Structure formats: structure tokens, C-alpha cells
Amino acid sequence: MPLQSCFRFSQLVAAQFQNNMSFLIPTRKAIGLDIGDSSIRAISLVEKHGGVFLSDYAMKALDEGYIKYGVVEKKDEVRAALAEILDTIIVKGDLPSFAVALPESRTFTKFIDLSDIGEADFQTRIVDEIRSNIPIDVENSYYDYQIVLYKDQNILHRGALLAVADKDIVAEYISLIESVGYNVTNLEVGAPALIRSIFPLNDETHYQQLNVVLDIGESRSILIAYRGGVILFVLSIPITGKGMDKVIAETLDMPIADARKARKRFGLNPNKANSHVRAILLQETEDLKKRIEQVQDFVRQHLQKQTKGMADAVGFKTIIDKILITGSASDLPGLKDVLDEAMDIEVAIADPLMNIFIEKNKTFPVKDVGSYSAAIGLALGLIKK
């Protein structure tokens, strides 16, 4: 089957799997579902009283090997975990809209310039870009793109934020949700959802900045370069919670469970007693700092040419202004301070709650909020589209 285009993958959902057409109706209740290799996280949002409120949340850890690199290996076990989560946050009889994140390992996101061609040639350029520069089999892929408009000396230019997804993984995730009795409204690449949750929706001042977002997870981590309201690219990065635990355990000859406790308790904090853990993790963060420096160099050398008009129009800078940290393993003590000192760049902990309120009768584990960034952004995408 030839390559197909879809709008945030929801046309695909409706056409190929005959789901209901609820994505055409303004959504007032939505669930964001972030399915990872080591856990499933769900957020339920409701729009009312002129605001968006977090009505419930849930998390279920998955055993090793249930999901590998985004592929569901133990279908029955994952289905049971998903059903358990949804039973806790969905009132019986409700049929909320669902937005589900596709795994970064089976998707690809990239910004491409379209300013030198006419609109009639957009599709051809996009398909050529996929075939030439994106490491996913094009004959087994779906693609989606968002047109970005910008001006250079009062001349309108166009670019596109391109997302490509493996067709098999799309079918697998839709089937998983349907197996527990619900329909998927939107399938979305995780990076745009994450960005949606940690930047203000009604304030475009951040468009003037070049931001690097570090989404540090337990099993996988990504770096997002974001400026002018556009995700320029997404990179996998080697530092993960489980990776840090493994290095600590091997170096200090201790069980993984104890290594995890040491990572979360001591981390990179110089005020804590265990200097051995700090020394190990400092070495791990060296790779992270090098990757950020590589991004800075890449932006200077390549993206400055590719987005030449955006510097004057929407603040497309080539110097990193800020690093934002989020993710399920981003609560590493001292990480912000270490990066702040080493990079000479402003570093901040992202706030995924900035665009929503929490119901008065609900409590939310603020210390774990980073792990819900993508799920919050997914649900926001349904309510605020």
C-alpha cells in the first residue's frame, strides 16, 4: 500500500478502523494515554468553567519485556494493565475521547523547508524527504505534516513539521485500545504532545527562544529542539533511569533495587553523603552535555541556512536560550544545577501543569509530574484543538 497522509493520524483512525467520528465534535472530556516500555500513564482532563481541569490520573508499572522499543510483546498482560488503569479513571458509562502517543522508537519527526516550491509540489517534496532522509520503510508508513508559515522581508514562506509512523505500530496501538472497549480519537507522536503541556498555550513569547527539552525516561529518553513554535527535530539520547541504575549497580556491586534507591536519594546532589553515586552519575551526564553541545553546533551550521527567514520573523535563533527538563527519570537530585553550571545556559524544570487546574477534591503527586507530561499534552490536544 502506498504512503498515505493523515491529519494527526485521526483520519487514518476513522477511515481504516471505522471508529466513531467524535474527533469532529468539540471535546469536553479527554484522556491522554502514554504507553511506554516500562509503564502506562493516563490523564483525564475535563473542560469546564472556562478552564481545563485534571479530573483523574493513573499509572501502572510494566514488567521487563512486556513492551520492547514500543512493540507490545506480551499482549494479554499489557491489555490487563491498560484495562486496570482505565477502570480507575473512567466513570462507568462515559465514552471519553482518547489520544494515544505512538512510541518515539517507531516514529520520526522533522522540520523541512518548503519555501522554494509551490503548494502543488508540497506532497512530492514531503514524500521525497521521507524516502531520502527518514529511516522508516516508506511502504509500511503513514505520514502527517503541519504547515508552518513565516515571513522573510515581508515575503511569506512555508515549512512543514513532518511526522512519520510505522503502519504496523499504528494498527497495534489502535487494536490494543479497542481490545479494552474504547475507540481511539487521535494518535500522535509524543514530542508535540509533550511540548503542548510544558509551554503556555495562550502566550507566544517563548516563540522568540530556541529551547532544548530533555525528556528523561526510565527506559528511553529524547531531546527536542524547539523554536518559533516549531519542533525542529527529535533525537534519542542515551541517559535513562534504568541505564543509570545499571551503571550504579555494576560499579558499586549492589542489587538493581538498591541502585535505584541510591539514584533517587543521592543523585548528583553534592550535599549528600554518598560521593560514589555522584561520581558515577557525573560521568553519565557528560554524554548528555556533549549531545546538547552537538545540537548547538548543528543548529548554528545547518538550521541557520534551512530557516534563514525565521530569525527576523518569529525569533528563530541559533543559540540555545533555555534547557527544560522533564520525564519520569528527570527527578534526579542535582541534575538541574550540574547542567546549569556546565552549559552556561538557563536550565529549568518543566511545568506540565501550567495549562491546567487540578480539581479541588483531587491530589496529584507533584514530585512525579514530569512523568505525566506527554499524557497531559495528549489530552490537551483533544480539548484545545
Domains in the chain and their CATH numbers? 1-201+355-385 (3.30.420.380), 203-350 (3.30.420.40)
Q: Do 151 and 311 contact (CB within 8 A), yes or no?
A: no
Q: H or E segment at 126?
A: helix 122-133
Amino acid at 74: K
Burial class (CB in 10 A: 0-12, 13-18, 19+), 94: exposed
| pLDDT value of residue 326 | 97
For residues 163 and 203, what is the distance between their CA atoms, to the nearest angstrom?
25
| pLDDT value of residue 1 | 28
For residues 111 and 222, what is the distance between their CA atoms, to the nearest angstrom?
16
| pLDDT value of residue 21 | 32
For residues 246 and 239, what is the distance between their CA atoms, to the nearest angstrom?
11
| pLDDT value of residue 35 | 96
| pLDDT value of residue 22 | 34
How many angstroms from the chain centroid is the CA of residue 21? Answer: 25
| pLDDT value of residue 281 | 94
| pLDDT value of residue 7 | 37
User: pTM for this one?
Assistant: 0.85
CB-based burial, 8-38: b 16+ in 10 Å, e otherwise: bbbebbbeeeebeebbeeebebbbbbbbbbb
In angstroms, what CA-CA distances link 219 with 215, 241, 350, 356?
Answer: 11, 7, 20, 27
Tens of pLDDT along the chain (385 residues) come to 233 333 345 444 433 333 333 333 444 789 999 999 999 999 999 998 889 999 999 999 999 999 999 999 999 999 999 999 999 998 777 778 999 999 988 888 888 888 888 888 888 898 898 888 888 877 888 988 888 776 555 666 778 888 899 899 999 999 999 999 999 999 998 899 999 999 998 887 777 788 999 999 999 999 999 887 788 888 888 899 999 999 999 999 999 999 999 999 999 988 766 789 999 999 989 888 888 888 888 777 655 555 554 444 444 445 788 999 999 999 999 999 999 888 888 999 999 999 999 988 888 888 889 999 999 999 999 998 7
Please give the angle made by the CA atoms of 201, 202 and 204, to the nearest 5 degrees.
Answer: 90
Task: Look up cell 487540578; give the residue.
Answer: 358
